[in-house]
Amino acid sequence: MTQTSDSVTWLTQEAYNQLKAELEELSGPARAAIVRKIDEARQEGDLKENAGYHAAREEQGKMEARIRQLTQLLETAKVGEAPADTGVVAPGMVVTIAFDGDPDDTMTFLMASREYPSSDVETYSPQSPLGSGVNGKKVGDDAEYELPNGKKASVRILAVKPYQG
């Protein structure tokens, strides 16, 4: 699955089905269960000191946020269309990089949304420091990105190919 800059998300059919099933579960049975939990906790009395009530309300808030996130993601999804093999780093591409241009210190990853990570290759979001640093680069290009400690790191793009799922 990949997030593109124009807010369209590319999903495999499997990813789309999995996220749709999660949304249906959260919007139906899970939502009803949390409402029951809140009602039961509310009947226990004083809400100020009712830990069960507060925990259930917090769980409900997280669930509603996830429902909104999934709804937006699925509304903008393009299913089953693999990215074109352009040789340019973009969402939906498997990228091999060399750290500091060293061909012995390499890493391969899928440039994609963290929402549906691949089981066979590590996933980096286009919004991550590494993802934003290499996005739009071609094989042979050098890219720089900022590490969590504020220092800069450089990589060379060795290979770019569409993710085949």
Residue 21 has pLDDT above 80, yes or no: yes
Which of the listed CATH numbers 3.40.50.300, 3.10.50.30, 3.40.30.10, 1.10.1060.10 matches domain 93-162?
Answer: 3.10.50.30
- Chain segment 133-160, per-residue pLDDT in tens: 999 999 999 999 998 899 999 999 999 9
pTM: 0.59
60 contacts 34 by C-beta, under 8 angstroms: yes
* Residues 8, 20: Cα–Cα separation, whole Å: 16
Fold of 2-79: Helix Hairpins (1.10.287)
**What's the mean pLDDT in 33-46?**
87
Phi, psi of 108 (to 5 degrees): -120, 135
- Chain segment 76-90, per-residue pLDDT in tens: 877 766 667 788 998
What residue spans define the domains of the chain? Answer: 2-79, 93-162
Q: Among 1-15, 44-58, 148-162, which stretch is predicted with the lowest mean pLDDT? A: 1-15
Q: Which residue is listed with tokens 């290499």?
A: 134
- Give which of 79, 80, 78, 91 is closest to 162, Cα–Cα: 91
* Residues 86, 160: Cα–Cα separation, whole Å: 8
